[in-house]
Each structure stands twice: as structure tokens, then as C-alpha cells.
Chains A and B, each alone.
Chain A
């Protein structure tokens, strides 16, 4: 968030008696101290929360900083001011509660643990994606909708491995393609033209 917005927000919240205290001695003179730093010192850094609403109308409260870091959509909404902290929630009609919870999980972990070493993060990611294929595709759609680049890349990596280096019949099994939709002539033509695929 812009420093200006922070200042306005904090100044708005400060009671007048505290504003009067924003004076400190510097080199013999009394200098007006910026109010936001006083408040920060008093309260610790503000853990502002935002509210996300799933398609099942369930509300999830999550640190703003966490979501803003990962989701381009949410970042844009907050930056252009269309989201009002006091009253509104962000409706996410495309994402159900189970998936939204997982997405929030992912973003929170990666924000709080971004200093961890690569191996630990990768192990956590692998564990995180240990879901059934329905769950995986729900996550994919949610990550795509919210534009969470690193989660998308992660899921793409998994799907890539389902396809890479495998023969057609095996991929059809993995993806549950029961009816491939080709006529018998088309299927035979394919097998003749591209035998190395099969």
C-alpha cells in the first residue's frame, strides 16, 4: 500500500490527544514526529485483515499482506481502492470453501516461510499438492482466477508430469478419458500415422 494511504488511515484513527503527543525534541528544538510511526510503535505493525467470501457464502479472514503478495487480482482490488476494509468482503463466487481454505493455506505458508531453504519449501509444496485430481483441478481454477502465479506454476508442473514421457493409453488412464470421441477409422488413422505416440 502507498505510504500516503497508510498515513491517512493512521491519522484518521489517531485520537487528537495522541496527535498532540507527536512532538519530540531533536537537537534542542521540538520537532513534529510523523504520527504513523508513533502508532506503529504503540501497536506493533498493523496486521490488517481482509475478508474473502467463498461460493458457499463462508467468510475467511486472512492477513491482507499475505493475499496481496500472491494474488494479482486481490492486489489490484485493494490498490485501486475498490475494496473498503471496514465493511466489504471480497466475493469469490468461483471458489468453494474447501478450495479457498487451501489457497489461503498456501499463500500464508509461503509468506511466513519465504526465508526457509528451498528443499523444505519444495517438500511442503509436494505435501500440499497431495490431493485427489478433483481437488487439484479446483485449485488450478482458483489459482487461475485469482492469478496466483507461483501456485499456478506449481500445479502446472504436476500436470506436466502426468503427460511427459507417457504413452497415450497411459495418459488416457490417468486422466480418466473413457471415451476418446474419435471414430474407429480416425483412431486407426492416428495409430498408423503416429505409432511412436502409442
Chain B
């Protein structure tokens, strides 16, 4: 007779397990049995998301009794758990609150104040407060000053409609153990608060500052963004993520990770990283004309391993060099890029996303280099797709291709008669996300695609947005020979994919589908909402 052993495993192990479950499932264990209930109430990680409590009542107005009763349940739940931990003399190790509704309308600000105070007085290590962004100036939630006294705090995350009052400036913040500080979309009630916070975190390792506003004029509606950031003397600083601050000066010789996004409106920026010679990962977004500055920076950071550029170049050419560079991602949606020159002898993967079809050339390559292209295709770019493949020098590096096609009808109409003059390049895999409507003909499209390249596998997105199920079935039947199509390869001396195709293997989530009925049944059984996975056809020629 099997016994119930799991409920009596050591609490530390059970807490480990609870920490790995999604919040809902973890909360559920509290009603399993008396001993699980005790385990739950001694679980020092409290993560409460209002969505989980209000999901059913979302469409109702806030004054509706159902809403108010759900609110009471939410307040009761958080309060009860915190009080039980404090009564048992246990530390509240982590408090994570995600409240997607305006606190003032919910009349819960004083409850949140109380909860934060209980956590701050009981050894909180991780405090995360995520509120819905506030539209109006005077409806922000003021973070209680007791947070300044929480000396055990190692991670503080504040997102959304939170305001930091100038009263914090008078406090000496006891953030001696703080290692991660993340402030996003919050409001500073006065100048110098951000600097005050950062300067009180001597051991800080990861800093995130995103879209911060500074406005001390109560009754105007102007948004004044924080304009400058200066970080110095932070010896342990390893990672910085800054978005929306125009001037940034960082003096942190041990910095390894930097992610910077300029204010999208004009892209102008001033980023001084002269002393950050140990940089390993760099991600830049929305910078206007950074070309010369970027080249100089790459020269100063010889250990850079990963580089990501998003919408960073307004010229026709991008030059990248990096002796230790292993991963490079370029995403570019300006429609003017013509050339990408990469000199990175240790590069393992190069990812390109965009509308353009630039010529990508590598000066020195390693054997393991793989190029992955993710492209939006419309009818203007059809012929350029094949050119793009052929323009990658050397050609054998193109490994995978993801295509996003929103107007397949216009593509097939532009195809005309295909003239294939040489054997298409073979690549490892192709991913297709095509927004089919009912009129676009399937065959010319597939013929075009498979004449442009020989993929070893083709994957189709199963997201319901793309409506690809009928196409997938058609493709399957076509490959299995039941639907005949015409290809004009008879006079060719090289292999055509129709005649060369030997084996087709269809897999989804680990299962193989041998016949069309199984395939249709599986596709019909898919849930209505987005299935993130792809269904893969492995092709052997």
C-alpha cells in the first residue's frame, strides 16, 4: 500500500518545488491537505497577480459587487499569507505584486503600504511591485518610505504607476545588499532621486532603467523624460539596461552586458563607454547614424562576444568587426540597407531580420558559422530573395530562413514564369508564417519557394492568426503524390525538387504523422488560441 510520502518531505524541498510551479498551481497545494496547508503558509515567496483573481470579472465596471467581492478575496489572500509568515517569525523572502488595475480606484493603496511594510520589517530579499501605468499625474502610487530601511533587500523591481517622493532624498537608504535594481516607467517626484538610489547601492550588479519620467509640476500634463544618467564607482556592476535616456555615461570597468535604447522620437544619443573595455554583450536599439561611433566602440571592446543591432543604421552599409564576436543579430526595417560586411573570425551565428535583402559578406569565417535570415516578403522583393541567397558570401553558411508573408496573393500574381538557371542552394530549414486568404493559389507559391532553395526541413507556424491549416494539408498531399503539380524542369541538367524528393517525414511535438487523416485530425484538434509551435516537414532529396 503506497503511502503519502511527498507531503512529509522536508519543508525546504517542498518550498523548492513550490517555487518552481506557476503561481496558480502553487497556491492550489494549500488546500490539498492540512500539512500542505502548513507548508504553503510557511512558504516565504509570495507572488500575487491581480489577473488571476479578476480574470472573470474583467468586463464588469469596478463598482459592480462581483468586482468588489473579488477585490476583498485578493486583499484577504495577500494579507492572510503575510500575517501567517510574520506570526510564525518567518522571513517574507520574496514579495511580488502585480496589480493591473488603478490602485486609487480599487482603494487598496493603504493595504499595499501595509504589505510592503510587513515585508520590509521581516527580512524581505526580493520586492517586486508591478502596477498599471498611470495616465494622470496625481494618481500615482507613492512608494512607502519604509523600503529605505529594508537592509536585507537584494532585488528591487518597480514597474508602472509608482512615484518616488523627494522625501527619499532625506533618507540614507540602507541598500547595502542590493544587487539588482530595476525601475521602469516610474515617476521621480524631484531631481536627484534616481542618482540617490543608485549611489546607495555599492554592490549593485544589474541595473535596469527604462522610460523614467521626471516631473515636479503637479498640474501640467507634460511628460519630461529623465535626460541623463551617470554611473561611476560601481565596481560590481555587471549588467545595465537603459531605455529612453538620451545621455549616458558609464564608468564601470567590470561591465559585461549593456543594452541601450535611445528615445525613439529622434534617435539622438550620447553614450560614453570609454572605460568599459570588458564588455561581452552589447545590444543597441534605435540609434541614429551610429556608424563611426560603433566602429570605434567595437575597436575598444575586443572581448565582445555578442552584438545586437536593432534599427540602428540609416546608411546603406554596415561594417562590423570583432575578434571574439560569436553572435551577431541585425534587425533592420528601414528599407535602405545594401551591404553588411562582417569581419569576425570566431562568429558562430549571424541572424538577420528585416525587409531589405542586403549583400552579406564575411571576411574570415569559422567552420561553425550559421546564418539565419528572418524576412518579411512582399511582391516587390520576390526576385531579390534568390539574389539574397546567392549574395551571401560564402554561400554554404546560410542555415535557416524564416519567412513572414502577409500578401501571398500579390506574390503569386507577380511570379510569372520562373526561369531557373542553376541549382538552388540547400539550406537546413525554412520556417513559414504566411497569412493565407482564400484566393491565393498554393502551388505556384510552393514551386517558387522550393525552386529558390532546397531546405532539409520546412516548418509551418500553427498560430491561428496565419490560418495555415488548409495549406499544410495541401502541402502534405502534394508531397505524398496525391496531388500532381507541374514543374518545368525536364530540360534541366540539375535536380528539381519534385523529382528528387525521396522521403518526407512530418513531425509535431515529437509525434510523426504517417497519413493525411491523422494529420487532419491533429490539426482540427488544435486549440483555438495561439499554438506557438511549428509543424515540421523533413525533406530528403
What is the distance, in angstroms, from A168's C-beta to the closest C-beta of chain B? 6
Determine if B17 and A160 form an interchain contact, defined as CB atoms under 8 angstroms apart. Answer: yes
Interface core residue of B10, B22, B31 (most chain A CB under 10 Å): B31
Which residues does chain A contribute within 8 Å of B4, judged by CB atoms? 175-178
Give A151-190 interface residues, CB cut-off 8 Å to B: 152, 156, 159-160, 163-165, 168, 171-172, 175-182, 190
B16: interface (CB < 8 Å): yes
Which residues does chain B contribute within 8 Å of A177, judged by CB atoms? 4, 7, 32-33
A141: interface (CB < 8 Å): yes
Determine if A176 and B16 form an interchain contact, defined as CB atoms under 8 angstroms apart. Answer: no
Binary contact track A75-102/B, C-beta < 8 Å → 1, others 0? 0000000000000000000000000000
* Cα–Cα distance between A193 and B31 once the two chains are bound (Å): 11
Determine if A172 and B32 form an interchain contact, defined as CB atoms under 8 angstroms apart. Answer: yes
Which residues does chain B contribute within 8 Å of A193, judged by CB atoms? 73
A21: interface (CB < 8 Å): no
* Cα–Cα distance between A96 and B528 once the two chains are bound (Å): 50
A194: interface (CB < 8 Å): yes
Q: Which of A3-11, A30-38, A132-140 makes up part of the contact surface?
A: A132-140
Determine if B33 and A156 form an interchain contact, defined as CB atoms under 8 angstroms apart. Answer: no
What is the distance, in angstroms, from B385's C-beta to the closest C-beta of chain A? 32
Determine if B31 and A137 form an interchain contact, defined as CB atoms under 8 angstroms apart. Answer: no
* Cα–Cα distance between A171 and B32 once the two chains are bound (Å): 8
Interface core residue of B17, B27, B28, B34 (most chain A CB under 10 Å): B28
B517: interface (CB < 8 Å): no
Binary contact track A111-134/B, C-beta < 8 Å → 1, others 0? 000000000000000000000111
* Cα–Cα distance between A156 and B25 once the two chains are bound (Å): 14
Determine if B32 and A168 form an interchain contact, defined as CB atoms under 8 angstroms apart. Answer: yes
Q: Count contacts on B: residues with CB < 8 A to the other chain.
A: 26
* Cα–Cα distance between A193 and B80 once the two chains are bound (Å): 14
Among residues of B, the one whose C-beta sits closest to the C-beta of A132 is B2
B9: interface (CB < 8 Å): yes
Which residues does chain B contribute within 8 Å of A178, judged by CB atoms? 4
Q: Count contacts on A: residues with CB < 8 A to the other chain.
A: 29
* Cα–Cα distance between A178 and B32 once the two chains are bound (Å): 11
How many residue pairs at the A-B interface have CB separations less than 8 Å? Answer: 72
Which residues does chain A contribute within 8 Å of B37, judged by CB atoms? 182
Determine if B31 and A197 form an interchain contact, defined as CB atoms under 8 angstroms apart. Answer: yes
What is the distance, in angstroms, from A99's C-beta to the closest C-beta of chain B? 13
Which residues does chain A contribute within 8 Å of B21, judged by CB atoms? 160, 163-164
Main SS at interface, chain B: helix
B383: interface (CB < 8 Å): no
Determine if B28 and A175 form an interchain contact, defined as CB atoms under 8 angstroms apart. Answer: no
Which residues does chain B contribute within 8 Å of A165, judged by CB atoms? 25
Among B5, B16, B28, B33, the residue within 8 A (CB) of A182 is B33
Determine if A163 and B25 form an interchain contact, defined as CB atoms under 8 angstroms apart. Answer: yes
What is the distance, in angstroms, from A107's C-beta to the closest C-beta of chain B? 20
Q: A133-B2, A134-B2, A163-B21 are in contact. Are A156 and B16 (CB under 8 A)?
A: yes
Which residues does chain A contribute within 8 Å of B33, judged by CB atoms? 172, 177, 179-182
Give B10-27 interface residues, CB cut-off 8 Å to A: 10, 12-13, 16-17, 20-22, 25, 27
Interface core residue of B3, B5, B32 (most chain A CB under 10 Å): B32
B6: interface (CB < 8 Å): yes
Which residues does chain A contribute within 8 Å of B272, judged by CB atoms? none
Determine if A176 and B2 form an interchain contact, defined as CB atoms under 8 angstroms apart. Answer: yes
Determine if B6 and A175 form an interchain contact, defined as CB atoms under 8 angstroms apart. Answer: yes
Determine if A163 and B73 form an interchain contact, defined as CB atoms under 8 angstroms apart. Answer: no
B35: interface (CB < 8 Å): yes
Determine if A181 and B31 form an interchain contact, defined as CB atoms under 8 angstroms apart. Answer: no
* Cα–Cα distance between A164 and B29 once the two chains are bound (Å): 10
A144: interface (CB < 8 Å): yes
Determine if A190 and B7 form an interchain contact, defined as CB atoms under 8 angstroms apart. Answer: no
Which residues does chain A contribute within 8 Å of B13, judged by CB atoms? 140-141, 144
Which residues does chain A contribute within 8 Å of B10, judged by CB atoms? 144
Determine if A164 and B25 form an interchain contact, defined as CB atoms under 8 angstroms apart. Answer: yes
Among residues of A, the one whose C-beta sits closest to the C-beta of B28 is A197
What is the distance, in angstroms, from A125's C-beta to the closest C-beta of chain B? 15
Which residues does chain B contribute within 8 Å of A144, judged by CB atoms? 10, 12-13
Among B9, B12, B25, B34, the residue within 8 A (CB) of A180 is B34
Interface core residue of B2, B6, B16 (most chain A CB under 10 Å): B6
Q: A165-B25, A180-B32, A181-B35 are in contact. Are A159 and B17 (CB under 8 A)?
A: yes
Which residues does chain A contribute within 8 Å of B32, judged by CB atoms? 168, 171-172, 175, 177, 180
* Cα–Cα distance between A176 and B73 once the two chains are bound (Å): 30
Q: A144-B13, A159-B17, A163-B21 are in contact. Are A181 and B34 (CB under 8 A)?
A: yes
Determine if B7 and A168 form an interchain contact, defined as CB atoms under 8 angstroms apart. Answer: no
* Cα–Cα distance between A194 and B2 once the two chains are bound (Å): 29
Determine if A168 and B2 form an interchain contact, defined as CB atoms under 8 angstroms apart. Answer: no
Which residues does chain A contribute within 8 Å of B73, judged by CB atoms? 193
* Cα–Cα distance between A152 and B16 once the two chains are bound (Å): 10
> What 10 additional pairs, Cβ within 8 angstroms, besides A160-B20, A175-B32, A180-B34?
A140-B13, A159-B17, A165-B25, A172-B33, A175-B6, A177-B7, A177-B32, A182-B31, A182-B33, A193-B73
Give the 9 A-B residue pairs with the shortest CB-CB distance, closest first: A181-B34, A180-B33, A190-B31, A176-B4, A197-B28, A137-B5, A177-B4, A164-B25, A176-B2
Residue positions of B touching A, CB distance < 8 A: 2-7, 9-10, 12-13, 16-17, 20-22, 25, 27-29, 31-35, 37, 73
What are 11 A-B pairs at a CB distance below 8 A? Answer: A132-B2, A134-B5, A141-B9, A168-B28, A172-B33, A175-B7, A176-B2, A178-B4, A182-B33, A182-B37, A194-B31
